[in-house]
A and B are shown apart, each in its own frame.
Chain A
Amino acid sequence: MNRVREYREKQGLSQFALSQKIGVARQTINLIENNKYNPSLNLCISLAKVLGTNLNGLFWEEDDEN
């Protein structure tokens, strides 16, 4: 599971507001949050920048580090 929803809620953004900031459709954000779509690296970087974090924070699962 990624942590896009968690970071988005921390920033107080709705799915629509986040999608407007990045320039994608709201459905795309919804699919990413529900792990139904694997975004491209460019989109992941944009998401991390807008949510004020990095790729590890957003997409790296802690179990995988061990």
Chain B
Amino acid sequence: MKIKESLLTKYMKMILGIPGQLDEYRKQEMQRICNNAFVITWLYIVTATMFFMLYGYLHPFNGIMMFSMSNVIFLFFVSVYMKLAARKSHLTKEEVSIEDYNKAKKKILLLSIKDFILFVVIFNLLDAILNFVFDNDNILNQIIHPKKGFTILIFFGTFVAIGNYISRLHRMKKMK
């Protein structure tokens, strides 16, 4: 009954915070939530583009700034909707048997370490690109020796990894 997961499915699972394997009910619910989010996004894009095209004609700078800000706000609300809908459909809980509990705990620890590494690498790269764009610094030099140092990245990376570990542990339910 387990369903083979494509890259897009894995991405949808990541956005909605669905742990473990998908079965047919979970896949159906996940697709329903994503379809709703898509339709809402489509309506927003059509309306916002029309509005900011007209507004931007009169005030170009304000138009660009407002469009970017409204996109960020819209993204926030759509993300909240998706998370709440996934929770309401009981998609975020992962039930594991007592025998598999320790194994599952080790797995989430490894996932959190992966999150930490990804965070440090991505933000180091992002910082290097920003420094290259705004200060014209050498990009390779910035990756190896970041201006702000690795301490701050490691600090926030640890914070994110611990947060993700606790959240995954909270979603896991021990079953007899």
Contact = CB atoms under 8 A, between A and B. Distances in A.
A11 interface: no
B23 interface: yes
Interface string A7-40: 0000000101000101111111001000001011
B32 to A, nearest CB: 12
B1 A27 contact: no
Interface size band for B: 10 to 19
B97 A28 contact: no
A34 B38 CA distance: 30
A30 B107 CA distance: 27
Contact of B24 (A14, A16, A26, A43): A43
A46 B1 CA distance: 8
Contacts of B26: 25, 28
Given A20-B97, A27-B90, A46-B1, 6 more contacts: A16-B97, A23-B23, A24-B23, A25-B26, A28-B25, A37-B25
10 contacts: A14-B176, A20-B97, A23-B23, A24-B25, A25-B23, A25-B95, A28-B23, A28-B25, A39-B25, A43-B1
